[in-house]
A and B are shown apart, each in its own frame.
Chain A
Amino acid sequence: MHSILETQKLCKSFGALTVADDIDFRLETGARHALIGPNGAGKTTFVNMLTGVLAPSSGRILLGGEDITAVRRAARVKRGLGRTFQINTLFRHLPALDNVALGVAERRGIAHRMWRSASSYAEVKNESMELLATLGLADEAAARVADLPYGKQRLVEIAIALGLKPKVLLLDEPAAGVPSAEADRILRTLEKLPSEIAILIIEHDMDLVFRFARRITVLVQGEVLVEGPPEEIARDKRVHDVYLGEQHHA
Chain B
Amino acid sequence: MTHAGGYAADTRVRWIEWLPWAAALGAFFLLPEYLPLGARILIYILFALSLDLVVGYAGIVTLGHSAFFGLGAYTAGILGAKAGVTDPMLQMAAAALAAALLGIATGALILRTKALTLLMLTLAITQVCVEVANRATPITGGADGLSGVVVAPILGQFKFDLFGKTAYVYCLIALFVGWYLARRMVYSPFGATLAGIRENSARMHAVGAPVYWRLVLVYTLSAAMAGVAGALLTQTNQFVGLNALGFEASGELLVMLILGGAGRIYGAFVGPVVYLIAQDYLAKQFPEYWYFGIGLILVLVVMFARGGILGLVDKCIPFLKPKSSARVSAR
Say how far B261's CB is from chain A's closest CB, in angstroms.
Answer: 15
Assembled-state Cα–Cα distance A102/B196 (Å):
7
Contact between B188 and A106, CB atoms less than 8 A apart:
no
Assembled-state Cα–Cα distance A73/B181 (Å):
31
Tell me if B320 counts as interface (CB < 8 A to partner A).
Answer: no
Tell me if A113 counts as interface (CB < 8 A to partner B).
Answer: yes
Which of B24-32, B124-132, B203-211, B277-285 makes up part of the contact surface? B203-211
Which residues of B, 205-219, contact A by the 8 Å Cβ criterion? Answer: 205-211, 214, 217
Tell me if A91 counts as interface (CB < 8 A to partner B).
Answer: yes
Q: Please tell me which one of the listed residues A112, A138, A143 contacts residue B189 in the complex, with CB atoms under 8 A apart.
A: A112
Say how far A164's CB is from chain B's closest CB, in angstroms.
Answer: 6
- Point out the residues of chain B lying under 8 angstroms from A101, CB to CB: 6-7, 192
Contact between A78 and B5, CB atoms less than 8 A apart:
no
Among A105, A126, A139, the most chain B Cβ lie within 10 Å of the Cβ of: A105
Which of B229-237, B265-273, B293-301, B323-331 makes up part of the contact surface? B323-331
Beta-carbon nearest neighbor of A157 in chain B: B203
Contact between B202 and A121, CB atoms less than 8 A apart:
no
Tell me if B93 counts as interface (CB < 8 A to partner A).
Answer: no
Assembled-state Cα–Cα distance A43/B161 (Å):
71
Interface string of B309-331 (1 = CB under 8 A from A): 00000000000000011111111
Assembled-state Cα–Cα distance A112/B221 (Å):
13
Contact between B8 and A117, CB atoms less than 8 A apart:
no
- Point out the residues of chain B lying under 8 angstroms from A51, CB to CB: 206
Assembled-state Cα–Cα distance A143/B205 (Å):
23
Assembled-state Cα–Cα distance A5/B147 (Å):
66
Say how far B328's CB is from chain A's closest CB, in angstroms.
Answer: 4
Known A-B contacts A91-B196, A93-B199, A141-B330; the reply to A78 vs B208 at CB < 8 A is: yes
Size class of the contact patch on chain A: 35 or more
Count of B interface residues, CB-CB < 8 Å:
41
Tell me if A247 counts as interface (CB < 8 A to partner B).
Answer: no
Beta-carbon nearest neighbor of A95 in chain B: B325
Q: Please tell me which one of the listed residues B6, B211, B326 contacts residue A119 in the complex, with CB atoms under 8 A apart.
A: B6
Known A-B contacts A118-B5, A129-B331, A141-B328; the reply to A105 vs B189 at CB < 8 A is: yes
Assembled-state Cα–Cα distance A119/B192 (Å):
10
Beta-carbon nearest neighbor of B331 in chain A: A129
Among B11, B190, B203, B210, the most chain A Cβ lie within 10 Å of the Cβ of: B203
Q: Please tell me which one of the listed residues B10, B195, B207 contacts residue A164 in the complex, with CB atoms under 8 A apart.
A: B207
Contact between A117 and B187, CB atoms less than 8 A apart:
yes
Assembled-state Cα–Cα distance A58/B207 (Å):
26
Known A-B contacts A95-B328, A110-B189, A142-B326; the reply to A119 vs B202 at CB < 8 A is: no
- Point out the residues of chain B lying under 8 angstroms from A113, CB to CB: 188-190
Assembled-state Cα–Cα distance A115/B192 (Å):
12
Tell me if B200 counts as interface (CB < 8 A to partner A).
Answer: yes
Known A-B contacts A114-B184, A138-B330, A142-B326; the reply to A121 vs B189 at CB < 8 A is: yes
- List, sorted by A's number, 15 A–B pairs whose CB atoms are closer than 8 Å: A75-B208, A78-B208, A89-B206, A90-B203, A92-B199, A98-B7, A105-B189, A105-B193, A107-B207, A111-B192, A115-B184, A118-B189, A118-B192, A119-B7, A129-B331
Q: Residues of B with Cβ closer than 8 Å to A?
A: 1, 5-11, 184-185, 187-193, 195-196, 199-200, 202-211, 214, 217, 324-331
Q: Residues of A with Cβ closer than 8 Å to B?
A: 51, 53, 73-75, 77-78, 82-83, 85, 89-95, 97-98, 101-103, 105-107, 110-121, 124-126, 128-130, 133, 138-139, 141-144, 160, 163-164
